[in-house]
Amino acid sequence: MKHALLALATLSALSAVAHAEEVVVYSARNEQLIKPLFDAYKKETGVDVKFVTGQEGPLMARLKAEGANTPADILLTVDAGNLWQAAHEGLLKPVQSKVLDANVPAHLRDPKGQWFGLSVRARTIFFNTHKVKPAQLSSYEDLADAKWKGKLCLRTSKKVYNQSLVGMMMADIGPVKTERVVRGWVDNLATDVFPDDTKMLEAIAAGQCDVGIANTYYFGRLMEKNPSLPIGIFWANQQGSGTHVNVSGAGVTRYAKNEKGAVRLIEWLSSEKAQNLYADVNMEYPVNRKVNVDPVVAKWGDFKHNYINVAKAGELQAEAVKLMDRAGYR
Amino acid sequence: MHGETSSPATTYPPGWRKPAWWPAVSRWQALAALISSVTVLPLLVIALSFADVNADIWAHLSEFVLPRLLANTALLLLGVGVGVLLLGVPLGWLVAVHEFPGRRVFNWALMLPLAMPAYVMAFTQIGLLDFSGVLQSWLREVWGSSAWFPPIRSRGGVVLVMSLALYPYVYLLARDAFASQGRRALEAAQSLGLSPWQGFWRVALPMARPWLIGGVSLALMEALADFGTVSIFSFDAFTTAIYKAWFAMFSLSSASQLSSLLVLLVFALIWLEQRLRGGRAYHAGRLAQPQSRLPLHGWPAALACGFASLVLLLAFVLPFGQLLVWVARVWEADLDARYIDFVWHSLALAIMAAGLVTLCALALSYAQRRDPSPTARLWVRLATLGYAVPGTVLAVGLFIPVAALDNLLIAWLGAALPEGTTAIFKGTLAVMLLAYLARFAAVGFSSVDAAMQRITRSQEETARSLGVAGFALLRRVHVPMLRGGLLTAVLMVCVDVMKEMPITLMTRPFGWDTLAVRIFEMTSEGEWERAALPAVALVLVGLLPVLLLARASSHTGAHR
C-alpha cells in the first residue's frame, strides 16, 4: 500500500515539486495584467514565475486548506480588503525589506510588512459634461445632498470597491455621519444600482443620470474606445481628506518554499523598471513615486490621496457592508 | 448474478455473519452510495460549518437580507419554472412530433443557447436593451424618448433572460420524451374521440412527466446556484447573500451555512415532487419506432416556424451576434496560439467528464431500478444535489478534503518523497474529473433516468427468461433502449463542463487553462468585449458535440 502510494506520489509530485529558483504565485489579478510582467522578470533574471489565477475568496480558502503544503510563495490580489483579510487569517508572513519600504508609501502597505500595494486605484466622481459644471461638485458626501435627487448613479454595494470607499468614509467621519450620507445617496438614485463601473459610466454618458462614482481606469478604457463621450472626471474631497484610493498588491505566503525569491519578485514589481508596466497596462497609478504616470492618465490631473492606511478598508469592510444594508443601498 | 428481483438483494461474503447493528445493504445501495460519496463529502464539509455559527452576521442577515432574498428566490423558482416550460415544452412537442419548414435545423439549433454561459447572455442582453444600450439609444434618437421602454434590469428581466438561457434543458428532455412515446398512444387517444389538442394535454404531456420534471429541476437548480446572471441584474438571490457573507464579511462559514440551507430547500422540493408522482409508471409499449411526423401546413406551420425562430433569435442569434461584433474589434490583438491549448483543454475535460458522469448516471439509475428501496433512492438523490450548490462553494467543499488528504499523506510518507513535494492528489486531472462528477451528476442522471422509466418490467422479465441477466441484461436490453437518453446526457454534461468556471479555477493543474478560465480572466475586470472571443470559441467548440451526436444518433427517433 505504502509503496503504491509512494510511486503515485512521486509520479504526480514530478509536476508539483518546485524548482529551487522558481516562484509560484496565486493571483486574483488576471492573467493579461500580470503575465507581461512575469515574462519580463524571466527575461531579466532567468527566474521562472508559475502562476494560477482565480477569485480572491477561493484562493485564500485554498491557501488555508493547503496549509504548510502550499506550492504558493506569493498571494497577489486586487484590493486592500482582501490583503488585510489574508493577513488577518495568518496566510501571510511579515517581510523586512528596505527596498519595499522605500518604493511603497506607508499608507499603501501593511504596517507589519505582510503585504505591499503595487498599484493605486483611485475611486472618484464622474459627471455628464452637458449637464454638470465641475464647480457644482465637491465631495462624496455632497452627492447625498437633495440637489442631486434623481441624478445619481451608483454601482452595487456588493462590489468591494464601494465597500472600501464606505469603510474609509467611516474611518474619516464616523459611522453615524457615514450612514446619513449613504441613505442620502440611496434617496438620490436615478435608477437601480449597476453591476459594474463601465455600465454606470455609460449611463452617465447616455443622460440617465448626471453624476456617479467609479474607478478611474474604467473611465480611461471607455474614453479610449470612444473619446467623444460627454463624461468628465472630478477629484473628490480635495478640500478635505483626499480622494479614496485602493491598491492591488502582494504578500509573501506564510509557508512560502522560496521566500527569498518571493521577496525579490515583489521588490522588482515595485521598482521603477516594472512599475510602469504594472500600472499602465490597466491605466492605474504606480505606487512608486519616482515613476511617472501613463501619459493618458496624467491628463486627468494630479490629486491628493486619502492618506489613511488602506488596511483600514479591510478592517471596517464587514461593518461597511452592514451599514449599507441598513441604509438600503443594494 | 442472482437475486435480481424487485426486492432489495442482500448478499454477504461467505463466512461473514451480519451483526445485528449492521444495516441490510444491497450491492445496489453500496454502488449508489459509492458514487454519491463524491457529492456527499463536499456537502458534509459545507454542513460542518454549523460548528462555527456567527450570531452577529446571522442577526444582520435575517433582519436586512433574508426577507428580500426569500421573496426573490420564490419569484425566481416560479418565474423560471414557468418560463422554461412555456418555451421548452411546445418547442420539444413541435420538433419531435410535427413536420414544418425549418424543423431539421431547429431540431439542433434550439439547443445552442446551452453552449453560451447564462451570464454572458445576460450581459449581451443588457448591452442591447438597457437605457444606454443599442436599442433604447436608437429609440431616443428617433422619438426623443425611451421612457416607455420596460427596464431590463428588473425582476422580469432576470426571469426572462434566465428562461431564455435555461429552456434548452426542458426542450432536450421534452423532445426525447415525445419522440420516445411513439405515435401509438396518440393514435389510441384519437380513436377514442380526443382532438389532437386534447391528446397533447391528456396523453402526451402526462406521459412526459419524468422528463419535464427532470428538465425543470435542472433549470431551477442552475438558477438557484447561479451567481453571474443575478449579479449582472443586481438581483438579490441566495447566491448573492452567500457571496456577501463570504467575500464581503469574510465569513466562509456563514456562506457555507446559507449554502446548506439552499441544498435543504432543493432536497425538500425533490422529495415533494416524488411524493406527488407516487407510483405512476411511464412505460412505452415498445422501443419507439422512427415515426412519421404529423405534417403542418398553412397557418399552423407558419406559427410553429415563427415561434421557434423567435425563441432562437432572442436566446441565441441576438446575443451571439453581439458577441461577434465585439470579437471583430478584439480578435486581432487577442487571438494567439494559446487558443489551441484552451480549446484542447476544454474539449478533453468535457469529453472525459461527460463519459464519467454518464456512466455513473447509468449506474445510479440502474441501481435504483434493481433496488427500489427508499435507502437506494436516498443515495441516488443525494448524488444529484451538487448541481444546486453555488459552484465556488462546492469547489471549496471539494478542495478542503483533498488538500487534507494530501497533507496527511505527505506527513505519512515524509522523507521518502522528493524534496519540496506539496501535492499528491490535488492538481491532478483525476480530482478535477471527480469534482465535475459531484457537480454534474444531476445533469446526466435526469436524462438517463427518465429514459429508464420507458422500459417495462415485463421487457426485463422476458429477457431474463431467455437467459439474459446481470451485466448482459443492462448491455443488451437497457442500453439500446436508453440510447437517446444517454446521448442527451453526454451532450448536456459536455457543454456544461465547458462552461463551468469555479471548479475549473480551483482544481485545474498548473497551466491547464480552458476557454471558461479565459472568460473569467476577462470578465473579472469588466472587459466584456474581450471576453467575447473565448465566449464565441466556447460556442463553436460546443457545436462539435452537438453536431457529432446529431450524426451518431441519426438512427434514434429523438435526435433525427
Question: Is residue A218 domain-resident?
Answer: yes
- CA atoms of B528 and B522, how far apart (whole Å): 7
Question: Is residue A259 domain-resident?
Answer: yes
Q: Are residues A197 and A321 in the same domain?
A: yes
C-beta atoms of B244 and A321 within 8 A:
yes
Q: Are residues A58 and A77 in the same domain?
A: yes
CATH number of the domain enclosing A103: 3.40.190.10
Q: How many CB pairs under 8 A join A and B?
A: 178
pLDDT averaged over every residue in chain A: 93
List, in order, residues 6 or more apart from B535 with CB less than 8 Å away. B116, B117, B120, B323, B515, B519
C-beta atoms of A65 and B400 within 8 A:
yes
Q: Are residues A174 and A319 in the same domain?
A: yes
Question: Is residue A301 domain-resident?
Answer: no
**Chain B contact for A198 (CB, 8 A cutoff):** yes
Q: What is the pLDDT of residues B428-456, one digit of tens each?
A: 999 999 999 999 999 999 999 989 988 88
Residue A199, all three cell numbers: 455600465
Which residue of chain A is at minimal alpha-carbon distance from B251? A318
Residue B297, all three cell numbers: 401546413
Helix axes B528-552, B479-499, angle to 10 degrees: 170
Q: What is the pLDDT of residues B352-396, one digit of tens each?
A: 999 999 999 999 999 998 888 888 989 999 999 999 999 899 999
- CA atoms of B28 and B363, how far apart (whole Å): 9
Structural class in CATH, domain B36-278+288-559: mainly alpha
Q: Residues, chain A, total?
A: 330
Residue A110, all three cell numbers: 501593511
- CA atoms of A169 and A179, how far apart (whole Å): 10
3-state SS, one letter per residue, for B290-316: CCCCEECCHHHHHHHHHHHHHHHHHHH
Q: Are residues A58 and A43 in the same domain?
A: yes
B494 close to B354: Cβ distance less than 8 angstroms: yes
Q: How far is CA B422 from CA A9, A25, B52, in A?
A: 10, 14, 29
Residue A57, all three cell numbers: 475568496
Instruction: Indicate which of B422, B426, B518 best probes the interface with A, i.e. most A CBs within 10 Å of its own CB.
Output: B422
Q: Which chain B residues are Cβ-neighbours of A205 within 8 angstroms?
A: 132
Q: Residues, chain B, total?
A: 560
Give me the pLDDT at residue B341, please: 94
B384 close to B357: Cβ distance less than 8 angstroms: no
Q: Are residues A199 and A116 in the same domain?
A: no
- CA atoms of B79 and B70, how far apart (whole Å): 14
Give me the pLDDT at residue A34, please: 94
Residue B301, all three cell numbers: 406551420
C-beta atoms of B421 and A282 within 8 A:
no
Residue B117, all three cell numbers: 454561459
Give me the pLDDT at residue B560, please: 41
Question: Is residue A2 domain-resident?
Answer: no
Cell 447564462 belongs to residue: B118
Q: What is the pLDDT of residues A34-74, one digit of tens each?
A: 999 999 999 999 999 999 999 999 999 999 999 999 999 99
- CA atoms of B162 and B171, how far apart (whole Å): 14
Q: What is the pLDDT of residues A132-181, one digit of tens each?
A: 999 999 999 999 999 999 999 999 999 999 999 999 999 999 999 999 99
Give me the pLDDT at residue B545, please: 81
Q: What is the mean pLDDT of residues B67-71?
A: 93
HSE (side-chain half, CA atoms, 13 Å) at A286: 21
Question: Over 70: is that where the pLDDT of B5 sits?
Answer: no
Q: How far is CA A245 from CA A121, A195, A209, A241, B231, in A?
A: 6, 20, 24, 11, 24
**b/e map B506-523, b = 16+ CB within 10 Å:** bbbbeebbbbbbbbbbbb
Q: Which chain B residues are Cβ-neighbours of A32 within 8 angstroms?
A: 521-522
Question: Is residue A300 domain-resident?
Answer: no
Q: How far is CA B211 from CA A284, A317, B175, B204, in A?
A: 52, 46, 9, 12
Which residue of chain B is at minimal alpha-carbon distance from A217? B525
C-beta atoms of A53 and B505 within 8 A:
yes
The neighbouring-strand residues paired with B10 are none
A217 appears as a binding residue in the annotation? yes
A217 close to A33: Cβ distance less than 8 angstroms: no
Q: Are residues A288 and A228 in the same domain?
A: no
Q: Are residues A72 and A165 in the same domain?
A: no
Question: Is residue A42 domain-resident?
Answer: yes
Shortest Cα distance from A239 to chain B (angstroms)? 30
Which range among A120-134, B124-138, B210-224, B346-360 shows the weakest confidence by mean pLDDT?
B124-138
C-beta atoms of A158 and B240 within 8 A:
yes
Residue B453, all three cell numbers: 422509466
Question: Is residue A25 domain-resident?
Answer: yes
B524 close to A55: Cβ distance less than 8 angstroms: yes
Least CB-CB distance to B526: which of A17, A58, A196?
Answer: A196
The neighbouring-strand residues paired with A153 are A212
Q: Which chain A residues are Cβ-neighbours of B129 within 8 angstroms?
A: none
Q: What is the mean pLDDT of residues A198-223?
A: 95
For chain A, what is the domain count? 2
B261 close to B375: Cβ distance less than 8 angstroms: no
- CA atoms of B81 and B58, how far apart (whole Å): 29
The neighbouring-strand residues paired with A194 are A155
Q: What is the pLDDT of residues B14-29, one digit of tens each?
A: 556 666 666 667 888 9
> How much is the pTM?
0.90
Which range among A125-129, B95-99, B119-123, B521-525 shows the weakest confidence by mean pLDDT?
B521-525
R_g of chain A, CA atoms, integer Å = 21
Q: By residue range, what is the domain housing residue A169?
A: 121-244+312-326
* Burial bucket for residue B552 (CB in 10 Å: 0-12, 13-18, 19+): middle
- CA atoms of B394 and B259, how far apart (whole Å): 9
Q: Are residues A318 and A185 in the same domain?
A: yes
Q: What is the mean pLDDT of residues A238-260?
A: 96
Question: Is residue A170 domain-resident?
Answer: yes
Give me the pLDDT at residue B23, please: 66
List, in order, residues 6 or more apart from B168 with CB less than 8 Å away. B88, B110, B111, B112, B113, B114
